[in-house]
Amino acid sequence: MSELFNVLTIPFLLAMFLAVTMGGSGTAPSFSAAYGANVIKRTMIPGLFGIMVLAGALIAGSEVSLTLGKGLLEQSFFTPFNTSIILLSIGLSLLFANLLGVPQSASQSTVLSIAGAATALEGLNTHKLFFEIIPTWIILPIVSFVIMFVLSKWVFPLIKNKILTEDYSHLNEHKALKALLILSSLYVAFSIGANNVANAAAPIASLTANEVGQDAIQNFLPIIILSVLIVAPCFAIGSSLLGHQVTKTTGKEIIEITPFYATIIAVIVASLIILASVTRGIPTSLVQLNGAAFIALSVSKQGFKTTFKNKTVIRFFVVWSIAPIFSFFLTLLLIGILS
């Protein structure tokens, strides 16, 4: 038992570190809308975020865990060394994004880190990566953008109701909308649990199953649940330590939003991510879906030129491009050189 404990200690600590960084990054798509609309206090966000992430992971996160735990790379390749390198690469890429104040996709960094390891070990499931996961990454942000653009440009202007345009000062007059905005933020946090907790939990679950033996490999789900229970609370810690800046960036620096639009964005984003999680088990970029919806709203109100001159939008696209590729090559190089 002590030998098993020693083998698992470093990977589990790295998974917890990764969960902390994901908590910082994932706070933005959950609560940037509500925070931008000034309906929730910053001090309340980490606790609520952590509770809903745990619920989402336990209720709807198993399919994504199976994809990351053995869908891209055979379970037997998750040795203590390989797992540690994978988790370290993901954590560093997310920490880099957090320090720049940009919410980054933990799912994309995780997938490409595992893909980097699989490439080095010659065990990559190319069909899963290139024909299922990457197409989903391209399609869903476009869907998020299109839905929000159509609604804000052509549908909502037909609705003659002041609730669409009233600012934050009038929100107390619409307590139902205020409650819906908070509930929608919780819904997004739940979807993060369904999709993102697996980024940290699945590699250590596969590692643990390998170390315990054949019986554990055949009964993988209980080990995933145990891994989730260890990893998910770290999301709340990360939210408390790192989440404020990325929440402020998304919620207030792309476009000022009304409470109504904030609720719509949250519902669109969470619904798409849960759909990808429970139907296909695809690790998907929730932060990019959220950013796409905000950008669509900005385009519908301010036009393409003004939106894409926004320094925050430019920074988003730069970091979104670099961080996952960084994960891939760092894992590929470290495993290729050190193994």
pTM of the model: 0.88
DSSP string of 25-58, one letter each residue: HHHHHHHHHHHHTT-S-GGGHHHHHHHHHHHHHH
Mean pLDDT over 242-261 rounds to 63
Q: What's the mean pLDDT when you consider all of the chain?
A: 85
- Residue 56, pLDDT above cutoff 90: yes
The pLDDT value given to residue 261: 83
In 3-state terms, the chain is what percent helix, strand and coil (to 5)? 85, 0, 15
Count of the separate structural domains present in the chain: 1
**What does each C-alpha distance from 255 to 142, 291, 301, 303, 307 come to in angstroms?**
19, 11, 9, 12, 9
- H/E element, 67: none
Confidence of residue 162 (pLDDT cuts 50, 70, 90): low
Q: Is 75 exposed, middle or buried (0-12, 13-18, 19+ CB in 10 A)?
A: middle
Q: Do 180 and 52 meet the contact criterion of CB atoms below 8 Å apart?
A: no
3-state secondary structure 131-170: HHHHHHHHHHHHHHHHHHHHHHHHHHHHCCCHHHCCCHHH
- Report how far residue 246's alpha carbon sits from residue 243's, in angstroms, rounded to the nearest whole number: 6
176 close to 254: Cβ distance less than 8 angstroms: no
Range among 84-98, 122-136, 150-164 rated most confident: 122-136
> What gap in Å lies between CA 261 and CA 36, rounded to an integer?
11
Residue 73, beta-bridge partner list: 124
Cα gap 151→268, rounded to integer Å: 11
Sequence-separated (6 or more) residues with CB below 8 Å from residue 52? 30, 186, 187, 189, 190, 192, 193
Give kind and range of the element (H or E) at residue 240. Answer: helix 233-252
Token pair belonging to 144: 């998020």
Residue scoring higher pLDDT (131 or 322)? 131
Residue with tokens 């619920």: 55
Tell whether the model's pLDDT for residue 81 goes beyond 90: yes
- Tokens 């589990």 identify what position? 12
* Residue 207 neighbours by CB distance under 10 Å: 29
Confidence band for 148, pLDDT divided at 50, 70 and 90? very high
Q: Which domain holds residue 172?
A: 2-338
pLDDT band at 98 (very low <50, low <70, confident <90, very high): low
The pLDDT tens digits of the residues spanning 269-287 come to 999 999 999 999 999 988 7
- Cα separations in angstroms, 60 against 18, 107, 282, 316, 324: 20, 16, 12, 28, 25
The pLDDT, as a whole number, for residue 95 is 75
Residue 165: pLDDT band (50, 70, 90) is low
> How far is Cα 126 from Cα 144, in angstroms, rounded to an integer?
26
Residue with token string 């609705």: 159
Q: pLDDT over 90 for what percent of the chain?
A: 44
Specify whether the backbone of 79 is left (phi greater than 0), alpha (psi in -120 to 50) or beta: beta
